[in-house]
Amino acid sequence: MMEITMKTLIRDLLNDPLFSDHLEFLLYFYDLRGQEDRPFGEFLLERDHEIKCNDVIYRFDRFHKLLSEGSCFYRFDETRPFTGLFYIKSTKPYCKGKLITIPGGGYGSVCGRNEGLGVAFKLADEGYDVFILKYGVKEYARFPEATSDLVHALEYLLANPQYFGDCHDYTLLGYSASAHLVGTFVSSKYGYKNYGLPGPNGIVLGYPVVTFSGPTNGHTRDNCLGQDRLNDMELRKELSLENLVDDNFPRSFIAIGGKDNIVPSNNGKALKEALDKFQRPYIYKVYEDCGHGFAWGTGTSSNDWILEALAFVRK
């Protein structure tokens, strides 16, 4: 079995049969065309500092080992072959709980390397069983398709306790666009109750896209609406999370980057105001040194914020 190191050639990654179905999940935003004969570590060092590069190499190698064991990836909807669940088991002799982490990506990609594997491996090492949702993007994210992917994934987990254990008590984690997905899923209007499913014990939202009515991340809004519905102002309003909060909205932890230049600050504030209006329990934290996409927060003031978030929402 191949060991992935800083010296591994990009060509070997691209040609590896274990990675063939998951390269977009792993390599989003990386354009490797014409780079095939270069060491992967050399390519990474041109784009980030050494500590982060070593983290990426570690995730790739650990993920490769899990794929080789054959019990890591599960398809829950054969009609949507681009979807699936990655199962990262607790590395402890116990399981603290079941988590579903959903990487963001503007409903245009699934940023699995950081908000998927990066978060999941950390949480598995803390004693959690973690599922990473790979959902439909671009034309396959048109509302309610991505939300339906989460519905079908949860149905699959609940129907197969022999593989996953009891998943009725679970927590949802979303980031950027996937925080919007989580918000719709827990809403009374569009969410789990409409499918006869149990709700999460709480939700963790990192740098969330909230509103489609005001300043927001345009890629997220447009991919969710679809080109033919961009000017449907009523639908924009209906799909804005601040309008979906009610008395049943779950315990929430909201993490915002003070230097976020991708999702305008009015988004988090709009959700905060809605939660205040309905007196829902939440923590809202701004990490002033963080931009967008800080995921686990390694090397910033937000480091380990997800552990703090879980301690609050899982009370």
Is the pLDDT at 31 greater than 90, yes or no? no
For the cut 80, the answer to whether the pLDDT of residue 71 exceeds it is: no
> Which of these ranges, 14-28, 224-238, 301-315, has the smallest mean pLDDT?
14-28
Mean pLDDT of 82-97: 97
Whether domain 72-313 has CATH 3.40.50.10310: the reply is no
Predicted pLDDT at 21: 83
Question: In the predicted model, is pLDDT for residue 197 greater than 90?
Answer: yes
Report which of residues 240 and 26 the model is more confident about: 240
The 10s digit of each residue's pLDDT in 205-214 is: 999 999 999 9
Query: What is the rounded average pLDDT for all residues in the chain?
Result: 95
Whether the pLDDT of residue 51 is over 80: the answer is: no
Backbone angle region of 76, left / alpha / beta, with phi > 0 → left and psi within -120 to 50 → alpha:
alpha
Share of the chain above pLDDT 90, in %: 89
Q: Other C-beta atoms within 10 Å of 240: how many?
A: 23
Q: Would you give the end-to-end CA distance of the chain in angstroms?
A: 42
In the chain, what are the helix, strand and coil shares in percent, each to the nearest 5?
40, 15, 45
**pLDDT at site 145:** 98
30 confidence band (pLDDT: 50, 70, 90)? confident
Structure tokens at 221: 């809004």
- Residue 2 predicted with pLDDT over 90: no
- Break the chain into its structural domains and give their ranges: 1-70, 72-313
* pTM of the entire predicted model: 0.96
Is 28 a residue whose pLDDT tops 80?
A: no
Residue 39 DSSP symbol: B
> What's the whole-number mean pLDDT along residues 128-134?
98
Q: What is the largest CA-CA distance in the chain?
A: 57
